[in-house]
Amino acid sequence: MEAALNGPSGRTTLGPVPISIGRTPDNQVVVNDPRASSRHAEIRPESQGYTISDLGSTNGTFVNEQQLARNVPRLLNANDRIRIGDTILTYEAQNAPQSAATAYGGPGQGGYDASYQAYQPTVAATPPDYNFSVQQAQPAYGQPAQPPAQPVYGQPAQPSYGQPVQQSYEAYGQPAQIPSQPSYAPPPPQAVYASSPSYPPAAPGTYGQSAQQVPQFPQQVSQRKSRRGLMIASILVIVLLIAGGIGAFVFLSMPTPAKALDKFCTSLKGGDYQTAYSGLSTKLQSQAPEPVFAAVVGKVDNCSYSAVNQVNTSATTNLTLTGASHTGSDAVTLVQDSSGTWKIDDDPKLTALPKALDSYCSALKGGDYQSAYNQLTSAYQGKVSKGLFSAFLPSVSACSYTISNVSAGNATASIVLAYNQGQAETDTTSLVQTSTAWQIDALSALATPTKSLTLFYNSLKNKAYAVAYELLSSSVQKQFGTETSFSTSIDQVLVSNGGITTVQISNVQQSSSTTASGTNVLSYGNGKTETDNDTMINENSVWKILTIKTV
C-alpha cells in the first residue's frame, strides 16, 4: 500500500518504519507550530495500514477534529485530516486493502443445500398416452368414461388413512422415488360435478385415480409470481439508484464554506488574485479594494484553514497564509448570500488598515481628539503634542480617505478633511503596521507654513500661549526660557495694547523643504496696527517661527 502525509512542509512518503511528528528538528515530520510538542505524535505501519498515536503531547492530537487518547493507536483512513495545534496534515493512501465481501451462493455454491428442491406436491407418474389429460373434454352425458387398462405393480398394501405410505407408485420404466421423510396419504378427494354425471372411482393402487391427476398449475403460478417480484425489485433498485445519483449530484454541487475556502486558497497559491478577490463579500470589497487586497495578502505559497464552524448562514474558521517573508493566521468569517454562495465577509488582516482610518475619521468628526491622537505612532506623537495636534484640526465636519498604496508593513492614503469654517484640505498620510494595528506615522498637511503662521498669531489673539510657545523654533524658545516666561512677557505687551483684535496672513512662501516666510498684519484694541515679516523653519515635520521682524 502506498501512503503519504501532506503538510505545510511538503509531502512525506510513509514506509515500513515508524515516523515521528513534532516541533524539534530530530523528527521526520517537523511542525513549526507553537502549540506542537517536541515529540508530539507517531505514525507506525501495521498489517491493515498505518496508525497514529499521540505521544502524550501538551495540546493533543486531532484526527478529523476528534482528539486521540494518549498513546492509543488509531487506524488512519484515506483523506483523514490530522491537526496539531493550527497545522493541518492530510493522510493519503492508495491500493488500501479491502475487506472481503461475503458471497451468498445459489444452489450448490454454499449459500444453501444444492439438493434443495422447491416443494412440489407428490403425485403419481402420468401413465402413457391413454388419451386422457387434465385438459381433456368431459365425455358426453350418459357415456361413461373408458378408463385405460391399469398396470399393476405388484400387490401394494392398501394403506389406511393416517398411516405412513412406505413407497410411491412407480412410473413406467422408472424406479420408485423414496421421499426423504415419510408422508401421510390424505383421503382421496371427492370430485363433485353439479351438472355432469359422477364417475366411479378407480380401484386403489391403479392409474386413473382422480387424486393422482393433479395439474401442475401451482408451480406455474409460483414461477409467474417470482418473475413479477423480481421485476418489481429490479424497478425499485433502479429508482433508488437514480434517486441516489440525483441526491449525490445535488450534494456535490451544493455550495459550502469549505468549497469557498478551497477555491480561495487555490486562487491565491496560483497568483490569481482577481478570482480570490471575487470570493470576498461586497462589504469586505468596499473596505479593501482589489489592489489593497493583493498588496496586503502578498505572494502566497501555502494556504490552509482549520475546521469550519457553521451556524445557519454564517461560518468561522482560522485561515493561515504562508509566504516567503510572512506567515499569519486570522479568524475569518464567511456568510451565505441570497444566491446561496458563501463569501468571506470579515478578515482582520484585510480590514485592519481601513478600520484604522475609519477610527481616525470618526474621532475627528466627533471632536474626540484623544482617540484620533491615539491613532498616531509613538514616534509621530513625539513630534506633535496632543495640544498642537488638536489645534491644527479644529472643528472637522467631514473626513474621507482613499488607500493608494500598500506594501509590506507600509501604506499610503489620501485623507480629505472639511472644516466648519468652510476650509478643506487633503493630507497625504503615511501609515505603518505595528504588531497590533495600522497607525499614522505622518500627515503632510497637518503643519504647513500657512497653518503654522496662522495658528501662532490666532493663539496669541486667544491667549493660548502654550500652543504659541510650541510653534516657536527651539532657538527662539531658548531666548524666552520657559513657557511661563514666554507667556508672562507676551501677555504684558498684548494687554498694554488692548489685545489683538484681527489677524491677516499673506505672502506665505516656502523657499525650500526646511525654510519659509510670510507676512502678517495685527490690529490691536487700542487702534494700533502692526505689520511683521516672519521666517519659519521645519523642525520634526512641524513649521515653526524662527524670526519676527516688525516693519
CATH class of 449-547: alpha beta
Question: What are the residue ranges of CATH 2.60.200.20 in the chain?
Answer: 3-93
Burial level of 350, CB count in 10 A (0-12/13-18/19+)? buried
CA atoms within 13 A on the CB side of 523: 6
Higher-pLDDT residue of 161, 416: 416
Residue identified by cell 516693519 is: 551
| CATH architecture type of domain 257-347 | Roll (3.10)
Question: What are the residue ranges of CATH 3.10.450.50 in the chain?
Answer: 257-347
The string of DSSP letters for 405-450 reads: EEETTEEEEEEEEEETTS-EEEEEEEEEE-SS-EEEEEETTTT-HH
Give the pLDDT band (50/70/90) at residue 350: confident
Is the domain 3-93 a CATH 3.40.50.300 member? Answer: no
Q: Has residue 155 got a pLDDT over 50?
A: no
Burial level of 450, CB count in 10 A (0-12/13-18/19+)? middle
CA distance 292 to 286: 11
Burial level of 181, CB count in 10 A (0-12/13-18/19+)? exposed
Region 353-443: CATH code: 3.10.450.100
What does the pLDDT look like over 119-142, one tens digit per residue? 344 444 444 444 434 344 444 444
What does the pLDDT look like over 277-315, one tens digit per residue? 999 999 888 888 887 888 778 788 899 999 999 999 999
Q: Is 432 left (phi over 0), alpha (psi -120 to 50) or beta?
A: beta
| HEC per residue, 80-113 | CEEEECCEEEEEEEECCCCCCCCCCCCECCCCEC
Under 8 Å between Cβ of 11 and 62: no
CA distance 74 to 318: 26
Higher-pLDDT residue of 180, 302: 302
Of 36-40, 434-438, 498-502, the range with the lowest mean pLDDT is 434-438
Question: What are the residue ranges of CATH 3.10.450.100 in the chain?
Answer: 353-443, 449-547
Single-letter amino acid code for the residue at 139: P
What does the pLDDT look like over 89-122, one tens digit per residue? 999 998 765 443 333 334 444 333 433 343 344 4
Q: What is the pTM of this model?
A: 0.51
Question: Hey, what's the cell of 70?
Answer: 494518549
**Distant-in-sequence, close-in-space partners of 72: CB < 8 Å, separation ≥ 6:** 53, 54
Question: Hey, what's the cell of 113?
Answer: 443445500
Element (H, E) at 293: helix 290-297
